[in-house]
Amino acid sequence: MESLFAVLVGVLVAAGVFLLLSRTIIRVVLGLAFIAYGVNLAILTVAGLRDEAPPLLTLAGPYVDPLPQALVLTAIVIGFGTTALLLTVALRAYQVAGHDDVEAFGDGLARNPDAPDGQYADPEHLSPDQPEADHEARS
Amino acid sequence: MTLAVLLPFVMAALCAWLARPLGRRTGYLAALAFVPALLLAAPLAGSSVEPGGTALSQNTPWVPELGLNLVFRGDGFSLLFAVLIGVIGTLASLYSVAYLSPRERFGRFYPYLLLFGGSMLGLVLSDNLIALFGFWEMTSVTSFLLIGLWHTRSEARDGAVKAFLISALGGLGLLAAVALLSMAGGSTLLSELDLEAVRASPLFVPALLLTLLAAFTKSAQLPFHLWLPTAMEAPTPVSAFLHSATMVKAGVVLVAKFGLIFGSSALWAGIIVPLGLATLFWGSWRALKQTDLKALLAYSTVSQLGLLMALYGLADAEGRFAATTHLLNHAAFKAALFFVVGIIDHETGTREVSQLSGLRRKLPITFVLAGLAALSMAGLPPLGGFISKELFYEAMLHAGPAFIAVAVLGSALTLAYSARLVAIFFGSYRAPVDDGGRSLKADVHEAGPGLLLPPALLAAGALLFGVWPQSTEWLTRRVGAALDFAGYGGHLYLWHGVTPALIATLITWALGAALVWQSARVYALQLRLELPISSNGGYRALLRGLGTFASALITRTQGLALPDQLRITLAAAGLMGGYAVWRAPQVFQPFGTLPPSVLPIAVLLVAGAMGVLLSRNRLTAVILTGLTGFGSAAAFLAMRAPDLALTQLLIEAVTVILFLLVFQYLPGIRDLPRRRSRYAVDVVLAGASGVGATLLILASLRFLAPPISPYYLENAYKGGGGKNVVNVILVDFRGFDTLGEIVVVAVVALAVGSLVRLGRRGRAPTETDTDRQSPNRTIPVRPINNQPSPTDQEVRR
């Protein structure tokens, strides 16, 4: 059972990563969703899958481990929040840039590294000097 | 002792608070902080530091489990040094009162100075190696603050940054060294290290080298000496305190203390002694060339530190005995000289040698003090410096002919630059002028008692150490037990007969006199021999190269299109994770018998994933993702998690609706195909990620610790009053966590709402607008009129 789910998680994560690397922004969002599915299942799998009762005290024990379930419940909701935010950001980006090609969203960092554009550290040009202050006592 | 270390920290806060009302008088308050350190002279004079006596020890538990306690141990060496710090610290505080301008920001100066004093006391007294490192770093930071006190000057900033970079580099070395030492020696206490185990350990040599890195950077030894001259941008009292008598000696202290551990290795002396002597020679050679008095003293300090290093580095009783004597002498005469140069600067307005002459007519008392201290520095009788130089020669004679030759040469240069320093007092008086020929100070006169007293006391000490050698010897002997030279039979005399050391001294004097006599020619020669490479140039080139390299690296890895950045990040993470998974023990259990309900779930999950990968348009992709989501919910059911299944179903439905809403605004354009060149890379990355995830789970199937879940099962009803344990965990045991989660969702809702509202107002571009551009070209951003204008709102009201 655990081994089967380990393989399934592998498939989900692989699909998620492949989607994450695509050019279409919607697919990037879907990729994250797939990775989230995989991770949720992984958390439960690692805790051990036993043929026991769900953690409802109205039933008779023994019960499965409730703690990973609580963690995953949080993760599902947060995952939804992430998806929703990404989607609206994608929408906004599409409206501003006029396309949804992730590769074409430049961030202005791509530049010639050798160009003297002031982007290297030079101890002599750390900041413009303020006017010289007078520190000597004039008695 | 704990009080001696902690009081300066407390007083620092007090001084910062009272600086405004007290003004320059804060210095008197600051001097009080060093009183407990001065009182440590009592145990130093007492019997507790004699051989056989027990060292003082005070333990303040902090994190005992990790061996992190404030343990202060007062053996003779630590106490002697602590008293030295106390004396110089007090004098520097008092001197500052008269030296600094009334407009100075005392609320910064004195707290920094006291923070430094406390850190330095902690450094010499701490027996705990980790605390030792902490205090070491604190001295680096406070030194940075003090050098950069006048931060409006670019030189001060440069000096501060340089000092900090170099000392912090050494500090990292020390951290690694103390970690290795405590691992090898089985204790975090210096006094309780198992020396046999350390010497036998394979960590011995790395620890030794790292300790040396720390000591050399802090004590400005070649090739790390370049920060000390630029540190002279600090106010002069700071230079006297930090950069002559205390902080720069921290490295020397380290070599002295750790020499008892590492001294057994030939590597120790083999590295330190040659480097120390090279520093001695180079420092004095450079000092002779300086025209600024303070720079001259700075290079002189570099060379004297080299001498101390070489002596302690010999790691024998004779060397440690001589070094301790010289340490005392050096602190006395060098701090005195810094104070004297401060006076000259203060009274004449310049430190340029060429501007100053005949000062003895105007500053007679200063002249006497400078003369005494400089004589001691030059190693002339009857001053303390002469005695310790004799001891130095003795030790070097035993070390070998090459060593004594370098020592003599360095000392001759020392004599020459001492003479240069004193020369400003002779000749006819000229009023110093600035570049324009105007006089700097209308009326040059002797300084007041506030400036004269500190150097007077120190110069008196330098004289006393010489004319009454027994006093110096008594002080040096206090350290005997701590530094393991109690059995050494040497004594201090002004006249000890005609010995090889005396002959070496005579040669030194002859050489020194020749250098002084031909000083003009020597100076010309020095200018001609100016090396094309300078350490400062190297430092700058290194920083610039680092900047260029960082810039290039960032551009190559981060300045790309987003998918490419992700590819690089994933590949790096994959390599690291792959190594970890490969090392981990694998637990692969065969599938065994599976419950029949699981198979459809597996098919659902895989079908959804494959379908999305193969789908040609977005709508299909989203719906197929939903399929996987439902498969996931079914899997939760199979895993006995009904709550999760419910939540997943709900979320899945809402997600699909959200996607469809968004598609309303995104015209149905086709998918962008992946670039061919990236296709194979992506397949490999995705496959590796999947395999890695699978292996990770298989490796994690063992319990490393007993699960904590039974606690929740037992207490859910008793403590939380609920029968659904998962819910009770969420709202009760981990209530704040859930509150945070709710906040996150609320923030997302706000963000989504406002973004969608913006979109409504914006003009959705039509298909003709979509311009396919190659990456790395800037996209023209269309201005969108999305701010509701005020008139709009008026109308709505």
Indicate the residue of A16, A88, A111 with minimum beta-carbon distance to B756. A88
Q: How far apart are CA A117 and CA A110, in angstroms?
A: 12
Q: pLDDT tier at B658 (50, 70, 90 boundaries)?
A: confident
Mean pLDDT of B642-667: 86
At a CB cut-off of 8 Å and minimum separation 6, what does B187 contact?
B67, B193, B194
Question: In this predicted structure, what is the pLDDT of residue B482?
Answer: 80
Asked whether the beta carbons of residue A95 and residue B570 sit closer than 8 angstroms, the reply is: no
Q: Count contacts between A and B (CB, < 8 Å).
A: 375
Closest residue of A to B571, CA-based?
A: A17
At a CB cut-off of 8 Å and minimum separation 6, what does B746 contact?
none
Indicate the residue of A63, A81, A102 with minimum beta-carbon distance to B744. A81
Closest residue of A to B440, CA-based?
A: A138
Shortest distance, CA A35 to any CA of chain B (angstroms): 10
Task: Quote the distance between the C-alpha of residue A64 and its chain's center.
Answer: 30
Distances (CA, A) of B356 to B294, B367, B451: 14, 13, 19
The radius of gyration computed from the CA coordinates of chain A, to the nearest angstrom, equals: 27
Q: pLDDT tier at A134 (50, 70, 90 boundaries)?
A: very low
Q: How far apart are CA A16 and CA B566, in angstroms?
A: 13
Shortest distance, CA B646 to any CA of chain A (angstroms): 10
Q: pLDDT tier at B279 (50, 70, 90 boundaries)?
A: very high
| Of B188-202, B758-772, B777-791, the least confident | B777-791
Task: Quote the distance between the C-alpha of residue A108 and its chain's center.
Answer: 22
Asked whether the beta carbons of residue A123 and residue B755 sit closer than 8 angstroms, the reply is: no
Question: In this predicted structure, what is the pLDDT of residue B754?
Answer: 86
**3-state DSSP call for residue B27?**
helix
Q: pLDDT tier at A24 (50, 70, 90 boundaries)?
A: confident
Contact residues, chain B, for A45 at CB < 8 Å: 697
Question: In this predicted structure, what is the pLDDT of residue B50?
Answer: 63
If you write DSSP's letter for every residue of B215-271 in order, what string do you get?
HHHHTT-TTSTTHHHHGGGS-HHHHHIIIIISGGGHHHHHHHHHHHHHTTSHHHHHH
Contact residues, chain B, for A34 at CB < 8 Å: 609, 612, 625, 628
What mean pLDDT value characterizes chain B? 85
- Whether the link from the prior residue into A62 is cis, omega within 30° of 0, is yes
Comparing CA positions, the residue from B303, B541, B550 lying closest to residue B415 is B303
Q: What percent of chain A has pLDDT over 90?
A: 32
Shortest distance, CA A97 to any CA of chain B (angstroms): 6
Three-state SS string across B469-489, please?
HHHHHHHHHHCHHHHCCCCCC
Q: How far apart are CA B496 and CA B494, in angstroms?
A: 6
Which H or E element spans position B63? Answer: strand B56-63
Single pTM value for the model:
0.74
Asked whether the beta carbons of residue A80 and residue B349 sit closer than 8 angstroms, the reply is: no
Question: In this predicted structure, what is the pLDDT of residue B145?
Answer: 93
Mean pLDDT of B105-116: 91
At a CB cut-off of 8 Å and minimum separation 6, what does B724 contact?
A55, A56, A57, B643
Question: In this predicted structure, what is the pLDDT of residue B191?
Answer: 84
Q: How far apart are CA B150 and CA B590, in angstroms?
A: 72
Question: In this predicted structure, what is the pLDDT of residue B588?
Answer: 64
**C-alpha triplet B625, A102, B756: angle, nearest 5°:** 70
A102 touches chain B (CB under 8 A): yes
Question: In this predicted structure, what is the pLDDT of residue B179?
Answer: 92
Using the CB atoms, write b or e for B120-140: b if 16+ within 10 Å. Answer: bbbbbbbbbbbbbbbbbbbbb
Asked whether the beta carbons of residue A11 and residue B690 sit closer than 8 angstroms, the reply is: yes
Indicate the residue of B346, B555, B659 with minimum beta-carbon distance to A110. B555
Q: What is the tens place of the pLDDT at every residue in B519-563?
A: 888 888 888 877 766 778 888 888 899 988 988 888 777 767 788
Contact residues, chain A, for B773 at CB < 8 Å: 104
DSSP state of B617: S
Asked whether the beta carbons of residue B779 and residue A105 sit closer than 8 angstroms, the reply is: yes
Q: What is the tens place of the pLDDT at every residue in B11-24?
A: 999 998 988 888 88
Torsions phi, psi for B494 (to 5 deg): -75, -40
Question: In this predicted structure, what is the pLDDT of residue B89?
Answer: 93
Asked whether the beta carbons of residue B725 and residue A41 sit closer than 8 angstroms, the reply is: no
Cβ neighbours of B364 (radius 10 Å): 11
A91 touches chain B (CB under 8 A): yes
Contact residues, chain B, for A49 at CB < 8 Å: 639
Shortest distance, CA B84 to any CA of chain A (angstroms): 29
Asked whether the beta carbons of residue A55 and residue B725 sit closer than 8 angstroms, the reply is: yes
Closest residue of B to A121, CA-based?
A: B547
Comparing CA positions, the residue from B704, B197, B236 lying closest to residue B454 is B236
Number of H helices, E strands in chain A: 3, 0
Q: How far apart are CA A39 and CA A64, in angstroms?
A: 19
Question: In this predicted structure, what is the pLDDT of residue B405?
Answer: 92
Q: pLDDT tier at B166 (50, 70, 90 boundaries)?
A: very high
Q: By CB neighbour count within 10 A (0-12 exposed, 13-18 middle, 19+ buried), where does B768 fall?
A: exposed
When comparing pLDDT for B584 and A34, which is higher? A34
Residues B127 and B69: beta-carbon distance below 8 Å: no
When comparing pLDDT for B50 and B94, which is higher? B94
Indicate the residue of A15, A38, A122 with minimum beta-carbon distance to B547. A122
Closest residue of B to A89, CA-based?
A: B755
The radius of gyration computed from the CA coordinates of chain B, to the nearest angstrom, equals: 36
Mean pLDDT of A86-102: 80
Question: In this predicted structure, what is the pLDDT of residue A36?
Answer: 93
Asked whether the beta carbons of residue B693 and residue A129 sit closer than 8 angstroms, the reply is: no
Residue type, B555: T
Tell me the two tokens of residue B765.
């571009």
Tell me the two tokens of residue B775.
């990456």
Sign for the pseudo-dihedral over CA of B199, B204, B207, B208: positive
Q: How far apart are CA B176 and CA B172, in angstroms?
A: 6
Q: Is the pLDDT of residue A113 over 50?
A: no
Q: Is the pLDDT of residue B443 over 90?
A: no
Contact residues, chain A, for B756 at CB < 8 Å: 88, 91
Shortest distance, CA A131 to any CA of chain B (angstroms): 7
Task: Quote the distance between the C-alpha of residue B504 and its chain's center.
Answer: 41
When comparing pLDDT for A22 and A97, which is higher? A22
Contact residues, chain A, for B633 at CB < 8 Å: none
Residues B413 and B281: beta-carbon distance below 8 Å: yes
Asked whether the beta carbons of residue B748 and residue A81 sit closer than 8 angstroms, the reply is: yes
Q: What is the tens place of the pLDDT at every residue in B356-410?
A: 888 888 889 999 999 999 999 998 888 888 988 988 998 899 888 889 999 999 9
Cβ neighbours of A39 (radius 10 Å): 17
DSSP state of B776: T
Q: Which of A105-119, B505-519, B665-679 has the highest mean pLDDT?
A: B505-519
Asked whether the beta carbons of residue B561 and residue A22 sit closer than 8 angstroms, the reply is: no
Shortest distance, CA A18 to any CA of chain B (angstroms): 5
Contact residues, chain A, for B730 at CB < 8 Å: 70, 73-74
Alpha-helix residue ranges (DSSP H) falling in B103-243: 106-125, 129-147, 154-185, 195-200, 204-218, 227-230, 236-240
